[in-house]
Structure 1
């Protein structure tokens, strides 16, 4: 563990978000949005009529910020315990009211110096970070400076993305967090559920607690992966603190 990593760890926040289709059925979408989803679905399905547009909305709506919403944001950070061993603490915000959720997250990251905060997520550059910003704009929530990247030079953006770290500039394919966890022999997070079940668990089971546990475990996996990608030892199980 380098002194540089210890120094940066003070302003290093790892995160993951869980999103769901904004409505529990296609029929609940406003008519204007239904027509726009139909156009999007047609371009995405490319002739595959296995699912109807309504079924496709329930299946895929969560991954598009125009048709989905955030129901959980999990976050965590490294620290060193009294025995000078690396430790990790993870917690989460969750709820049905996305405005409250986003404001909680905004207040959290604004506690850090905006020019020093390093946010890290898996595929964060293409999903988590833009999804958060777009949903904030939709709700007229001022985007925190740490998330404002428009006009910045690449070296001025401090965000980290474990998928980018693994790609080494290769943009041909997506590599999941679960796959990398398996490659590096890190315990996975897919114990109670998987990411493609979040919309169903939210709308049909009404189980935000389950989603939150899953989201927090994803952040634990993310943290261990980040360490392995830098050839650092992972956090011992007994040094991981989970706050519900």
Structure 2
């Protein structure tokens, strides 16, 4: 099935998220209480709600998207390129720009979205934040009434499961076992909050996000047993 897909019909993506407020104290009393209840099971007795708040970016109800990086294949004759760009800035603005991309270039029935662990994180997170901002969902994110085989989403982690519903594999591990050269990353996901709020270095986060998009595309190529992208085939726009 993967071999039949046209690479140019797939939009690869990754998002980076942080807590919606920098500190727990900046939440109003109601939101603090809701956060405490929401995370009670995860925290147990090890952390207070305040101490646990640095992880709030994981939940769309308490976090926000600071960038969405996307990549897509283009070809002209024998020349193959993978074009990468990032939407960033105010969350409502970047979500609208991302929606415009979907509606203008990836709206056909055979167009697909692809992310690593996207079905459990990226796709629902984007959809929830759009609803919170009052943005009508684009067709590719509106799953209501769709049958499972009609959902236009690919997930490289799910493809690697081969039916094993319990198996979690990180993008970094998949890239390693599939022989994909590891990109030079100076941060990881656990550092995004600090880099954003303490250092104010969004460019550093964008670079990290774009590298994950490229790696996801490389993993997809390996799952199809195709030649990996070379550096000169990757175009940042």
1:15 paired to 2:13: yes
Q: Which segment drifts farther, 218-227 or 110-119?
A: 110-119
1:75 paired to 2:75: no
TM-score, length-normalised on structure 1?
A: 0.91
The number of residues matched between the two structures is 235
Query: How far is the alpha carbon of 1:81 from its aligned partner?
Result: 4.5
Query: How far is the alpha carbon of 1:189 from its aligned partner?
Result: 4.1
TM-score, length-normalised on structure 2?
A: 0.94
Matches within 5 A, 1:229-244: 229-243=223-237
Matches within 5 A, 1:75-224: 75-81=70-76, 84-95=78-89, 97-111=90-104, 112-189=106-183, 191-224=185-218
Question: Does the aligned pair in 2 maintain the 1:80–1:86 contact within 8 Å?
Answer: yes
Mapped partners of 2:167, 2:174: distance in 1: 13
Question: Does the aligned pair in 1 maintain the 2:10–2:114 contact within 8 Å?
Answer: yes
Runs of at least 4 residues of structure 1 off by over 3 A?
Answer: 2-5
Mapped partners of 1:81, 1:190: distance in 2: 29
Unaligned regions of 5+ residues in structure 1, if any? none
Query: How far is the alpha carbon of 1:187 from its aligned partner?
Result: 2.4
Unaligned regions of 5+ residues in structure 2, if any? none
The SS at the match of 1:10 is helix
Deviation track 1:112-168 (CA, whole Å, cap 9, x = no partner) reads 334222000001111000000000000100000111112111111121000000001
Matches within 5 A, 1:39-54: 39-47=37-45, 49=46, 51-54=47-50
Query: How far is the alpha carbon of 1:36 from its aligned partner?
Result: 1.0
Q: CA RMSD in A?
A: 1.6
Mapped partners of 1:113, 1:104: distance in 2: 14
Query: How far is the alpha carbon of 1:53 from its aligned partner?
Result: 1.7
